[in-house]
Amino acid sequence: MPRISLIHATPVAIEPVVERFKSDWPEADVFNLLEDSLSADLQTAGTIDDTMVNRFQRLGAYAVDTGADAILFTCSAFGTAIDAVADAHSTIPVLKPNEAMFEEALTMGNRIGMIATFEPSIPSMTREFEEMVEARNATAVIETVCVPEAMTALSAGDHGLHNQLVADAVDQLDDPDVLMLAQFSTAEARSDVEGRFSKSVLTSPASAVRKLRHLLNA
């Protein structure tokens, strides 16, 4: 039974990915590590500095010490810090939150839409997407809409308003070929979004679970 360490920067990211593991890969042994000062500290600092990278390194080392066969980060604003963890622990899969979703989206079209709810994550995610496009010699472009009010609603426990605001954001996009929901926490809005968008809708938890299952069962 593979042991998966999930590392979170916000409590609202936990349930969507845990539920996805239960439905899509119940055999996986899943554990959660929450460090919820990370997002607030990133907003204060405005950038991922050496101190933040070192904190991620310690989180990654702790997960490895517990016997993790793979690490999945669910905090989408910390790409370069997660890269450092992956470099330090190259013998196991270390996935960035949106890595698998980006890979799937690039097989589905060139005009990629994304709805985000945590604005500090957008520069990191956009950079990761563009680096993936360049590495694959692809021509895809990404269009992003951010609705921070949805994250505020979700943090206050108003799931219905969160899902409605995420779905309403579809109207701000220019008819992409495929739509991605950026944060792990936005996965719960998928049904509402699919009611407004007739093409494929990808969520980061579903894509990540598919990739990890493939990697560890290969």
* CA triple 71-72-76, angle to 5 deg: 140
The rounded radius of gyration (Å) of the Cα atoms in the chain is 16
**Mean pLDDT, all residues of the chain:** 95
Ordered structural domains, the chain, with CATH? 3-97+206-217 (3.40.50.1860), 99-203 (3.40.50.1860)
Question: Six-digit token pair at 105?
Answer: 């989206």
Entry pTM: 0.92
What is the spatial distance between Cα 163 and Cα 201, in angstroms, rounded to a whole number? Answer: 14
| Chain segment 122-176, per-residue pLDDT in tens | 988 999 999 999 999 999 999 999 999 999 999 999 999 999 999 999 999 999 9
What is the spatial distance between Cα 149 and Cα 59, in angstroms, rounded to a whole number? Answer: 29
pLDDT at 39: 87
The pLDDT of residue 218 is above 90:
no
| Chain segment 29-52, per-residue pLDDT in tens | 999 999 999 988 988 888 899 999
pLDDT at 77: 83
H/E stretch holding 18: helix 14-24
User: Residue 218: which residues within 8 A CB-CB, separation 6 or more?
Assistant: none
Bridge partners, 112 (sequence order): 142, 178
